[in-house]
Amino acid sequence: MALRDLKSVIYTDDFGRDYACRVDASVFAQNGADSAPKIGGADYAASPKLPPMPDNLIPRHVVVSAAGNKRKVTCLTPTASLFVGGETTIALPVLGASPVTYTAFESVAERYKTHLDPSG
């Protein structure tokens, strides 16, 4: 079985708080016309120490579609080109096969499962 290549990155919520998370390296490596990652965000080198994404945070994402197959792609910043519509396609890995190009179908805003602010 092929191993996934996950990369540590920074997710910035709509309130400007940064969290550590991991995404597929091949997805993060795809740059848009602005030379920034299509999904936004930045590399995270573990300094300064960031908290992990809260369990009650459902991150912003784009629903993408290819031949009737739909998947979710997390966008790491509110201004990510895939999220705001500047980019409309992204290649996603498929285990055991070549990557497939998906087309953006719908952008979904982040939300918290409860109405409580995670910072207390």
Strands 57-58 and 111-112: antiparallel
For residue 24, give every residue at least 6 positions away whose Cβ sits within 8 Å of its Cβ, in sequence order, or none.
Answer: 4, 5, 6, 7, 92, 93
Q: In the chain, how many domains are there? A: 1
Asked if residue 117 belongs to a domain, the reply is no
What amino acid is encoded at 63 in this protein?
Answer: V
Please list, residue by residue across 56-73, b when 16 or more beta carbons sit within 10 angstroms of its beta carbon and e when fewer do.
ebebbbbebebeeeebeb
Q: What is the pTM of this model?
A: 0.88
- pLDDT at 54 (0 to 100): 92
Is residue 1 assigned to a domain?
Answer: no
Per-residue pLDDT, averaged over 9-17, amounts to 96
- pLDDT of 4 reads 77
Tell me: the pLDDT tens digits for 58-117?
999 999 999 989 999 999 999 999 999 999 999 999 888 899 999 999 999 999 887 655
* Position 39, amino acid: I
Question: Residue 101 belongs to what domain range?
Answer: 6-112
Q: Is residue 38 part of a domain?
A: yes
What DSSP element (H or E) covers 28? helix 25-28
37 within domain boundaries: yes
Q: For residue 118, is it within any domain?
A: no
Tell whether 119 is covered by a domain.
Answer: no
